[in-house]
Amino acid sequence: MARSSFYVTTPIYYVNAAPHLGHAYTTIAADVLARHHRQRGDDVFFLTGTDEHGEPVKLAAEREGVTPGELADRNYERFQALAPQLGASNDFFVRTSDPRHVAKVQEVLTRVKDNGHAYEGVYEGWYCPRCADFKTDREIAEGNTCPIHKIPLTREHEHNWFFRLSAFAEPLERLFAERPDFVQPRVRYNEALSFIQGGLQDVSLTRRGLDWGVPVPWDPGQVFYVWWDALLNYYTALSFAHEGEDLTERFWPASYQLVGKDILKFHTIYWPALLMAADLPVPDHVFVHGFLLMDGEKMSKSLGNVLDPFAVIDRFGSDALRYYLMRDVSFGQDGSVSAGAFEERYERELANDYGNLASRTLAMVGRYRDGRAPDVPHDPALDADFEDLATRVAELLDRAEVTQALEEIWVRVRRLNRYVEERAPWKLAKDEAAAGELDVVLASLAEGLRVLTVLLQPWLPATSAKLLAALGTPDDALQAAQLGARRIGVVAPIEPLFPKQPTEPAAA
């Protein structure tokens, strides 16, 4: 069977500030999908990167007394470093200041104009420089403020080139009707659709008087409006990510584009309209996730420190952060995060449910069977719980349900813990006549643990590699996630996977 291709993206993050937990969240979710598809044997490409042009970056640079280019160079490195620190397996990191991106943006947007979708006009209206967003009447909060940044909007009057977005209302409605899973989850699909049905206004294609951006080839002195330049990264990067090879045919259109709800309009309306205008296919799915909420009140220094992704990783490891974020904030919905909730999940679920299961299993195989897992079939009592698990996980991840899929696996982690308690191998070990039964229990535990560890690989890649190595079965392909699919022989003891952490003294 031919391998399917799977292309997943995160938004490209603004270099006007340092990376934070919100950025980590989307990158981790995208990584879960990328890793899962690699487990399936798919041809995977995972892209993330930085958005370096436009007003948000220019204004931040002015505040810091550096040029936008200097600010971009300084901050992009922090985003580029974030991905590996999170255990993210992105195949490329794109920067919109890359001259190859710039050239491709010029090519595509010139085509949009040549196709008759651009015209000269005057923009008069409200604008948020932090969002780089021309707000429509429906998007303006009280007192002409930005509902996202809570800052006063500016009144813009500009002679620009316009993109004929209004002409795409019908094609977009058709797209939404034909592809009800184009935007997920459903509530975001409805939101985008009602935005379209509320009437689309034409949008600036270019900006005059801004010098930090991609120059408009046919009108010197203007740059492209940053959102068009930024959105196109998903497409342009494929043409230069691999030296000497154009991956566009292989991976475009993208399979899943993950974005936060703050940028829904750009990704579910502007983006598909632009692609249609450029005669390019639109992505398969745009998944719009919610916000991580941090109660301002509780953001004490110590709390803030613990939820700094870099600090959490330093102390607990990247897997713990990945697990917590994917588990606690249901993907698609808003959710609060806190140091307390993190520590509770770490203790109760990672250290106790899973870490202890692993240590106990390996220790008992060591103690009772000299470190060799008994070569007997597993206990059929576990079949009902494990039989369709890999398929179920794959089905959920086909809809980017990263929290639900993790829950399915965790139900079985708990099932295996109950199994240990029910069969009490330590009692069986005292009874010579129960040796056969003990073989079955130990083989089942080791095998169940192996299957769960294969399935958990996308969420817990470092832990999974360590534990599969200890089980002597490094193969983490999805095909291996069936009871009995691999034979465990000699196992090695391991250090606790999620060691108990001494309580940190509160930061001063």
Residues that bind ligand ME8 (CB under 6 A): 11-14, 22-23, 25-26, 51, 230-231, 259-260, 262-263, 291-292
Query: Taking the complex as a whole, how short is the minimal distance between the CB of residue 47 and ligand ME8, in angstroms?
Result: 11
Considering the complex, state which of residue 96 and residue 444 has its C-beta at the smaller distance from ligand ME8. 96
Residues in the chain: 508
347: which DSSP letter?
I
Q: Tokens standing for 252?
A: 């475009």
Q: Tokens standing for 320?
A: 């713990």
Considering the complex, state which of residue 96 and residue 464 has its C-beta at the smaller distance from ligand ME8. 96
Residue sitting closest to ligand ME8 (CB)? 22
Q: Tokens standing for 392?
A: 């179920």
**Other beta carbons within 10 Å of 85:** 15
- Kind of pairing between the strands at 292-293 and 335-336: parallel
The enclosing H or E element of 118 equals: strand 118-128
- Cβ atoms of 326 and 32 within 8 Å: the answer is yes
**Other beta carbons within 10 Å of 331:** 25
Considering the complex, state which of residue 68 and residue 472 has its C-beta at the smaller distance from ligand ME8. 68
Helix 318-328 vs helix 461-470: angle between axes, to the nearest 10 degrees? 120
Considering the complex, state which of residue 262 and residue 407 has its C-beta at the smaller distance from ligand ME8. 262
Considering the complex, state which of residue 10 and residue 361 has its C-beta at the smaller distance from ligand ME8. 10
Rounded CA-CA distance 468/472 in Å is: 6
Which among 375, 385, 347, 293 is positioned nearest to 501, based on CA atoms? 347
DSSP H helical segments within 179-263, as ranges?
A: 186-197, 226-231, 233-240, 248-251
Query: Taking the complex as a whole, how short is the minimal distance between the CB of residue 53 and ligand ME8, in angstroms?
Result: 9
Considering the complex, state which of residue 88 and residue 488 has its C-beta at the smaller distance from ligand ME8. 88
Q: Which residues pair with 32 in a beta bridge?
A: none
What is the set of active-site residues? 20, 23, 128, 131, 146, 149, 298, 301
The residue assigned the tokens 């947007």 is: 109
Which among 427, 447, 446 is positioned nearest to 437, based on CA atoms? 427
